[in-house]
Amino acid sequence: MSYEHVRELLKEMKLDGISLTLDSTFEEWSKSGKDATELIEELLEAEKKSLKAKKYDVALRYSGFPFHKHLDEFDFTFQPSIDVKKIKELKTLRFMYEKENVIFLGPPGVGKTHLAVGLGMEGIKEGKKVYFINSITLVDKLKKSFYERSFEKQMRFYKALDLLIIDELGYLPLDSEGAKLFFELISEKYEQGSVIVTSNRSFNEWNKIFEDEVIATAVLDRLLHHSTIINIRGKSYRLREKQKSGMIRLDTSKIIDENAQN
C-alpha cells in the first residue's frame, strides 16, 4: 500500500486528526523502536482529540451564544460583590448533574450574560447539550409554535437540553399568554434539566414581568427550589470601557451605584 493511497483513505474517511499528525508521529515512532500497536494507538488518540474538538466547535455554533467568553476571562476584582467561591463551585458543573438552576441578577453591564455563557461553554466542553436564548425570542417562539401546533415538538427540544440559558428576563414584560407558556416551559424543566436565568429585576419585581402574581410565584417556586443565586451589585463593565476610551466623560459611577441598590 502506497503512502499516497493512505493519504487518500484518510481524506475519504475524514480522519483529520490522523492526517495532521501522521508524518511526525510516524517519524518519531520509527526512531523509537516501539512496536506497531503503539503507533496505531497514538494515531487513534490524535483522531479522538480532533473529533472532540470538532464536536465542540459544532456545539458552540448551535448554542446560540451571543459571544464566546470563558469564565477565566472575567475580572472578578472589578465585581467584588460576586462570591468567587460560588462561581468556582458552579464551574465544577455539579449543578448540571444535579439538574439545579442558576439565577444571575443585577443591573446592565455587570457581567450576567458573560458568566452565563462561560458556564454554558464549560458544559459544552463536557459534552453537555446547552442552548442560549433571549427571553423575548424564547416566548415569541413558544407562542408561534403554539399557534402552529408544534408546541410539543418545541418543548421536546428544550426538555432534551442539559442546560437552557434564558437571558434578559424582565427587560420587557410578558403578556398573559406568554407568561403562561413560559411557566409551562419552566415546569417541564423542573428537576429534569438545568436552567440559567439572567435578569435585571429583583425577585420582588417579578410580578411586573409576568403581570400576574400567581404565575410569577409559580415560576419563582420552581426556579428557586434547587438553585444558586448570584446577585451582582456593582458598576457596569461596558461603561468602564467607554469611560476609559473617553467616550463618556461624566462620572456615572454614582448613578449606577444607586441603580444597583434597587
Interface residue list for ligand ADP (CB under 6 A): 69, 74-75, 78-79, 106, 108-114, 198, 237-238
Distances, alpha carbon 210 to alpha carbons 86, 108, 145, 179, 203, in Å: 29, 20, 20, 6, 12
- For Mg ion, the closer of residues 19 and 113 by Cβ is 113
- Judged by the rule CB under 5 A, the positions of this chain that interact with Mg ion are 113
Distances, alpha carbon 1 to alpha carbons 12, 22, 27, 29, 248, in Å: 16, 15, 18, 19, 68
With CB under 5 to 8 Å by kind, the binding choice for 238 among Mg ion, ligand ADP, none is ligand ADP
Cβ 3 to ligand ADP shortest distance, Å: 47
With CB under 5 to 8 Å by kind, the binding choice for 114 among Mg ion, ligand ADP, none is ligand ADP
Cβ 203 to ligand ADP shortest distance, Å: 17
- For ligand ADP, the closer of residues 17 and 111 by Cβ is 111
- Cα–Cα distance, 262 to 260 (Å, whole number): 5
Residue number of the CB closest to Mg ion reads 113
DSSP one-letter code for 199: E
- Cα–Cα distance, 96 to 33 (Å, whole number): 46
Cβ 109 to ligand ADP shortest distance, Å: 5
- For ligand ADP, the closer of residues 181 and 235 by Cβ is 235
Angle (deg, nearest 10), helices 213-225 and 176-189:
20
- For ligand ADP, the closer of residues 68 and 153 by Cβ is 68
Do 251 and 234 form a contact (C-beta atoms < 8 A)?
Answer: no
